[in-house]
Amino acid sequence: MSNVHELTFLKEKIEELKEQGVYRKLPVLETPSQSEVILDGKKVINLSSNNYLGFANHPRLKQASIKAIEDYGVGAGAVRTIIGNYKLLEDLETILAEFKREEAAFVYQSGFNCNAGTIQAITEAGDIIISDELNHASIIDGSRLSKANKGIYKHSDMDSLEAILKESRKKYKNILIITDGVFSMDGDIAKLPEIVELAEKYEAMTYVDDAHGSGVLGESGRGTVDHFGLHGRVDFSIGTLSKAIGVVGGYVAGSKTMYEWLNHRARPVLFSTSLPPAATGAIIEAITMLMESTEYTDRLWDNAKYFKEKLGKLGFNTGHSETPITPVIIGEESKTMEFSRKLFDNGVFVSGIVFPTVPKGTGRVRCMVTAEHTKDQLDEAVKAFEKVGREMNILE
Ligand code: PMP
């Protein structure tokens, strides 16, 4: 008789992953997440972090964190609705609203939580959520938590979106269109001006998850809405505080009404403890730095362009990215993982990304160039790509 507590059904699935060549043992990072790291005891150039601006280990953020701990301690103490907002968290929401040029910003403990909590709170049965097919998993999960109906349009295909909108206007009360601002696996930017126009035509609300646009696109990294000059025409602007901002957390910027409602209905905030002061203090410093100077965002774009051009010239397929996210498409899952392993052996850490994160047969290594990389590091990485690419017959 099988013993259910041995979790045989899971062991079998794990074996399947091993057979498919996609089983992974996560490496151990022995240094801060920076442009060069020690992973599993080996020094490698890091092309795997979302630390776009190099803020994750920045001395100014560290100092702000230490000060926040001294002033407010290490923990928030309880969920906000029980203990209230600590002053620093209020300061963070104020500076984020200013940065995003919106009336208000509501902070969550992570970007994932932000999508999980906001989508559910602002939709109900009788509404419809219309989502780009390549939207992030947290949007999919957030939508699943909502009782609203769901529609999915083909990736960045405005005809497909309009067809659903046309049908929906007759059937549903509120319509919410959701898109990633920057698509995290391909680095392309949403067609936000067209989406906003369609939304206005069909009286729909718009929701942009700018996890990879915040700190990257727009003036001083204000994001995709700013990049397209669409302030006041997007209802919900989501950002993470874990990527370019270098810390952890997420937020939605929008109207005061949105803020008031989320304060009463955003379940991850109602039922889970707030960000710790150390994170909050560091984030405030990061936003202050972005508003002070474009030094970091300029360097990020310069490095990204440099690296992308070099890989393209060698004949790698870098897809159609418009942002620093640089995918190198390999295709087959096990070949992708082998490419990533061989790059590691040659001193470059870049994760293989395969199904189910991306569609089957479109496995890739996703290079994340940051403002912190030196040109020497990027040149060294390109050399390793060329060597392994030739060995594995990947160059076109
Ligand atoms: N949305 C998008 C588009 C993302 O790429 C991510 C991070 N992978 C998230 C949300 C979640 O953000 P966080 O890591 O801050 O929870």
pLDDT per position as a tens digit, 282-307: 999 999 999 999 999 999 999 999 99
Structure confidence at residue 2 as a pLDDT band (50, 70, 90) = low
The mean predicted confidence, pLDDT, of the chain is 96
- Structural tokens at position 218: 């727009």
Predicted pLDDT of residue 258 = 98
pTM, two decimal places: 0.95
Q: Does the annotation mark 373 as catalytic?
A: no
Per DSSP, the three-state class of 53 is coil
- Structural tokens at position 181: 């601002």
Percent of the chain topping pLDDT 90? 91
Q: Ligand 1 centroid vs 107 CA: distance in angstroms?
A: 14
Instruction: Of 77-81, 148-152, 196-200, give the lowest mean pLDDT range.
Output: 77-81
Q: Does the annotation mark 155 as catalytic?
A: no
Structure confidence at residue 320 as a pLDDT band (50, 70, 90) = very high
Question: From the candidates 227, 243, 308, 373, which is the catalytic residue?
Answer: 243
Structure confidence at residue 24 as a pLDDT band (50, 70, 90) = confident
Q: Ligand 1 centroid vs 387 CA: distance in angstroms?
A: 32
Per DSSP, the three-state class of 266 is coil
Predicted pLDDT of residue 25 = 86
- Smallest CA separation from ligand 1 atom 14, residue: 111
State which amino acid sits at residue 140. Answer: I
Distance CA 350, CA 307 (A): 14
Distance CA 7, CA 190 (A): 42
Percent of the chain topping pLDDT 70? 99
Q: Does the annotation mark 243 as catalytic?
A: yes
Q: Ligand 1 centroid vs 237 CA: distance in angstroms?
A: 13
DSSP string, 3-37: -GGG-HHHHHHHHHHHHTT-------B-S-SSSEE
Distance CA 53, CA 29 (A): 19
Strand partners, 130: 151, 177
Distance CA 55, CA 237 (A): 22
Predicted pLDDT of residue 169 = 93
Cβ-contact 223, 100 below 8 angstroms: yes
Ligand 1: residues whose CB is within 6 Å?
Answer: 110-112, 115, 136, 138, 180, 184, 209, 211-212, 240, 242, 250
Over residues 7-17, mean pLDDT: 95
Cβ-contact 277, 76 below 8 angstroms: yes
Q: Given the CA of residue 181, which atom of ligand 1 is nearest to it?
A: 3
Distance CA 311, CA 324 (A): 13
Interface confidence (ipTM) of the complex? 0.98
Structure confidence at residue 9 as a pLDDT band (50, 70, 90) = very high
- Smallest CA separation from ligand 1 atom 4, residue: 211
Structure confidence at residue 1 as a pLDDT band (50, 70, 90) = low
Q: Ligand 1 centroid vs 193 CA: distance in angstroms?
A: 23
Over residues 364-374, mean pLDDT: 97
